[in-house]
Amino acid sequence: MQTSIIGYPRVGTLRELKFATEKFFKQEISETQLQETGREIRRRQWQLQKASGLDFIPSNDFSFYDLMLDTAVLFNCIPKEYKKAGFTALDTYFAMARGYQGEKGDVKALAMKKWFNTNYHYIVPEVEDDTEISLTGTKPFTEYQEAAALGIQTKPVLIGPFTFLKLLRYKGRKNAAAIAPSLGAAYAAAVQKLQSLGATWIQLDEPYLVHDITGDDLQLLKNVYAPIFAAKSTGKLLLQTYFGDIRDCYKDLLQLPFDGIGVDFIEGKETQHTVFSCAFPKDKVLFAGLLNGKNIWRNHYPKTLEILQKLQAAGIPVVLNTSCSLLHVPYTLQHETKLDDSYKAHFAFAEEKLTELAELKSLSALSDPTKEPAYIANAALFTNRHDCVNEAVRQRLSTIRDSDFTRQPAFAERAACQKKAFRLPLFPTTTIGSFPQTADVKAARTARRKGEWTEREYIDFNRKKIADCLRLQEELGLDVLVHGEFERNDMVEYFGEHLKGFLFTEKAWVQSYGTRCVKPPIIWGDVSRRQAITVPWSTYAQSLTEHPLKGMLTGPVTILNWSFPREDISLKESTYQIALAIRDEVLDLEKNGIRIIQIDEAALREKLPLRKSDWFREYLDWAIPAFRLVHSGVRPETQIHTHMCYSEFTDIIHAIDQMDADVITFEASRSDLQILDSLLENKFQTAVGPGVYDIHSPRVPSVEEIKTAVHKMLAKIPAEKLWINPDCGLKTRGLAETSASLKNMVQAAREIRREQDAEK
């Protein structure tokens, strides 16, 4: 049996690519130096994979920013405005990803969206009616040749044309069907080229197939693949799916001339059933995704070997694969010096997963693997998990009642109380919480971590930051203020570090978008709160201002979704445990005079099943109550805010209203405020701040631009429900652009208020 992976992380074991790219953005290094860093990262990981004994080594899984963006550039899907500026190829690429504002012009970034059910974000390519799709790029070819020159035969990876078509944004009249022929032809040319260079297998990623697939979808897939099949000669084509099962179309796909079909046995609940429900064609290979590409727990060998055996018994030729790209897990356990071995033994990051593949490969060749040390050691891991049960937490959870999920009184009555209590102007202005995490802020945390600073020094530093931040907000004229979140490395990792039941890592970075990475904490056991977490910072901040200060917390669903979750208890149970811990924090903030509390649920949508039929039963039916459990205990005049970013909400807008917050802010600016219609149609009750400008780009929005966005909002949202705010936290931004942007935002709000007065 052979082994394969779908893709590997690419930021570098110690985030070398991130640092090089950010230096390139600041013009501290040249393009040549950046390219060299990329080449070095690719070389190291290809050689590592080769040395591990991996049979199918991917290439073209590397990217300077994102693979969807790479695919767009490969096939000339570059909107005119980026071509006009006359940049180099690499600068055009980065302008599409991040926007550009400078001597050569002023262009916005393309939209960015969540990649299926992950915390990775892709750039949404656009086609215009006059976009001429054709093979104009070279990246997959140069990377294939680069590996070949190192003596390594690779399996080039491309995002498949069907998924690409489904995720594209169509700016003109042309739709997916209209561009399928030219896109298919361009892919065919790429396949031909790879074959001519010597590629034996080519992987086409089609994760979109794990959605509910219609007859029209299947027809589109067949149409776009027709030229590709015609171009197939010496190479073999692998259709790779992940993030779920392909129950709707598996049988149809088996009829098509693919040579391999990759399925996900981890997230695909119906994969086993689907695969065993029909005969497998003699001329194909099944790439069986049995190693979890998304979570960090060791694979359970007895279970995996059992499925492999069943597949072999059914006469199915199998390649052992990961369930999805390893992009979603950290590189290696090697740099984790503080985690005890008794914990580490339970984890496998990307590098350790390569070892697991090799071990499973040799175990599967034996008639009785159960006597092997590797097998015995692995099986033992699943019987000796220590300190993960906390009886007090279980006891508390068992006593919650239905009434604990409902805040009293109902929305309208609360809204009236709050209006009186706060006396905010029409269109109140606020921010989402974090202020720029400038170099000094990160250096302070590093100094504290290394013991170079005392706790007192660290606290004093952050207090000074908070005081400066409040002064800035008052000068800018914002209405509801924040403390700035300077004490947090990340909105989830920070809570992970302060809650019992979590483990955290030192270097276990995972890419979230572009150069930005996260270090998800690990939920090891039952979760509870040791002591108040944010209260001292928030009360200090409130003591410095007359304005209402928003306390800032991360909600339970987001903490769960942006951590590595347990696999020994349900997600629902873990989330409810976290909800109770955060509920205690909410009530402590309220007790200490914080009158507005924001509970971020940035990642609410993340684990929403990709199939609609599973939405409520499997997810929303506990995720929404988990949020309600957090805030149901507050007084009527305490205002609860929540915030969500980067996702499409239109289809779950009703569930979001059911969270029963008083105010919700979200990211809509980078997707042209598409959400507004559904707010109107669904009579959305919660007050809203749809985000008047995009904070993920360093561009400063003009007053006019912001006013235009607000006018668009006012066409769909009642004036008394509208808040004015950026679309997400400001931590990734610089101070200068932040002040300039917020100044324009406040100015825009003032002008709109005047317009409203004049109308009356």
- Catalytic residues, by residue number, are 696
Among 688, 728, 742, 746, binds Zn ion (CB under 5 A): 728
Region 413-452 residues binding ligand 39S, contact defined as CB under 6 A: 437, 439, 442-443, 445-446
CB 460: neighbour CB atoms within 10 A?
13
Cis status, amide bond into 409, omega within 30 of 0: yes
Q: At what angle do helices 535-543 and 455-476 cross, to 10 degrees?
A: 50
Choose between 168 and 518: whose C-beta lies nearer to ligand 39S: 518
3-state secondary structure of 3: strand
Instruction: Judge whether 90 and 63 are in contact, CB under 8 Å.
Output: no
Other beta carbons within 10 angstroms of residue 100's beta carbon come to 24
Q: Quick check: 600 binds ligand MET (CB under 6 A)?
A: yes
What's the closest the beta carbon of residue 517 comes to ligand MET, in angstroms? 14
- 512 sits near ligand 39S (criterion: CB under 6 A): yes
Residue 432 contacts ligand MET per CB under 6 A: yes
**99 assigned to a ligand binding site:** no
CA–CA separation, 193 and 143 (whole Å): 13
Please give the backbone phi and psi of residue 470, each rounded to the nearest 5 degrees, phi first.
-70, -40
Q: Segment near ligand MET (CB under 6 A), from 86-94, 102-110, 187-195, 430-438?
A: 430-438
Cβ of residue 434: shortest distance to ligand 39S, in angstroms?
Answer: 8
The dihedral built from the CA positions of residue 523, 528, 531 and 534, taken in this order, carries a sign that is positive
Which listed option, ligand 39S, Zn ion, ligand MET, none, makes contact with residue 631 (CB within 5 to 8 Å by class)? Answer: none
Contact 738, 437 (CB under 8 A): no
Name the residue number minimizing CB distance to Zn ion: 645
Of the candidate spans 100-108, 130-138, 236-244, 727-735, the one that interacts with ligand MET by CB under 6 A turns out to be 727-735
- 694 part of the interface to ligand 39S, by CB under 6 A: no
| Cβ neighbours for 25, distance < 8 A, ≥ 6 positions apart | 94, 98
Per CB under 6 A, 517 contacts ligand 39S: yes
| Three-class DSSP category at 110 | coil
**Tokens 């896109």 sit on residue:** 183
Site pattern 119..158 for ligand 39S (x: CB under 6 A): x---------------------------------------
Q: Does 643 bind ligand MET (CB under 6 A)?
A: yes
Q: How far is the CB of 437 from ligand MET (least distance, A)?
A: 9
Should residue 516 be labelled a site residue for ligand 39S when binding is judged by CB under 6 A?
yes
Closer of 529 and 696 to Zn ion (Cβ): 696
Q: Which does 600 bind (CB under 5 to 8 A by kind): Zn ion, ligand 39S, ligand MET, none?
A: ligand MET
CB of 724: closest distance to ligand 39S in angstroms? Answer: 21
Instruction: Report the alpha-carbon distance of residue 485 to residue 81 in Å, rounded.
Output: 36
Q: Is 759 exposed, middle or buried (0-12, 13-18, 19+ CB in 10 A)?
A: exposed
Interface with Zn ion in residues 588-607 (CB under 5 A): 602
Residues 158, 239: Cα–Cα separation, whole Å: 10
User: 353 vs 641, which CB is nearer to ligand MET?
Assistant: 641
Which residue in the block uniquely carries the two structure tokens 């040390």? 373
Structure-derived torsion over alpha carbons of residues 235, 236, 241, 242, reported in degrees to the nearest 10: -80
- Least distance CB 698 / ligand MET (angstroms): 16
Residue 96 binds to Zn ion (criterion: CB under 5 A): no
Q: Is 645 among the annotated ligand-binding positions?
A: yes
Report whether 121 contacts 167 (CB < 8 A): no
Residues 6+ apart with CB under 8 A from 572: 622, 626
Asked if 342 interacts with ligand 39S (CB under 6 A), we say no
Residue 2's SS3 state is strand
Residue 388, marked binder: no
* Buried residues in 36-70 as b, exposed as e (16+ CB within 10 A): ebbeebbeebbebbbebebbbbbbbbbbbbbbbbb
Single out the segment in contact with Zn ion by CB under 5 A; choices: 4-12, 505-513, 515-523, 721-729.
Answer: 721-729
Task: Tell me which residue has tokens 């550009």.
Answer: 100
Site for ligand 39S in 556-585 (CB under 6 A): 562
Q: How far is the CB of 443 from ligand 39S (least distance, A)?
A: 4
Asked if 602 is part of the footprint of ligand MET (rule: CB under 6 A), the reply reads yes
Instruction: State the minimum distance, in angstroms, from the CB of residue 478 to Zn ion.
Output: 18
698 lies in the binding site for ligand MET (CB under 6 A): no
CA atoms within 13 A on the CB side of 15: 18
553 binds Zn ion (CB under 5 A): no
- Judged by CB under 5 A, the stretch of 179-187, 193-201, 263-271, 640-648 that binds Zn ion is 640-648
Q: Given the structure tokens 């985030």, which residue do they identify?
A: 15
**Contacting ligand 39S within 449-488 (CB under 6 A):** none
Interatomic CA distance for residues 514 and 70, integer angstroms: 12
Ligand-binding site membership of 488 (annotated):
no
Question: Can you list the positions of beta strands (E) in 58-148?
Answer: 58-59, 100-102, 105-107, 112-114, 121-123, 126-127
- 509 among annotated binding-site residues: no
DSSP 498-539: HEEEEE--SS--EEEETTEEE---EEEEEEEE-S-SSHHHHH
Site string for ligand 39S, 714-753 (x = CB under 6 A): -----------------xx---------------------
Q: Is 393 in the site for ligand MET (CB under 6 A)?
A: no
Nearer to ligand MET, 699 or 731 (CB): 731
CB of 217 vs ligand MET, minimal distance in Å: 32
Coil, strand or helix at 93: helix
Per CB under 6 A, the list member of 5, 291, 350, 518 interacting with ligand 39S is 518
Near ligand MET by CB under 6 A: residue from 433, 501, 514, 548: 433
Backbone angles phi, psi at 645, to 5 degrees: -125, 170
> Which is closer to ligand MET, CB of 210 or CB of 482?
482
- Asked if 500 touches ligand 39S (CB under 6 A), the answer is no
Q: Which two tokens stand for residue 254?
A: 């088996």
Closer by beta carbon to ligand MET, 244 or else 520 = 520
562 assigned ligand-binding residue: yes
Binding residues: 15-18, 114, 432-434, 485, 516-517, 562, 600, 606, 643, 645, 667, 728
Contact residues for ligand 39S, defined by CB under 6 A = 119, 437, 439, 442-443, 445-446, 489-493, 512-513, 516-519, 562, 645, 731-732
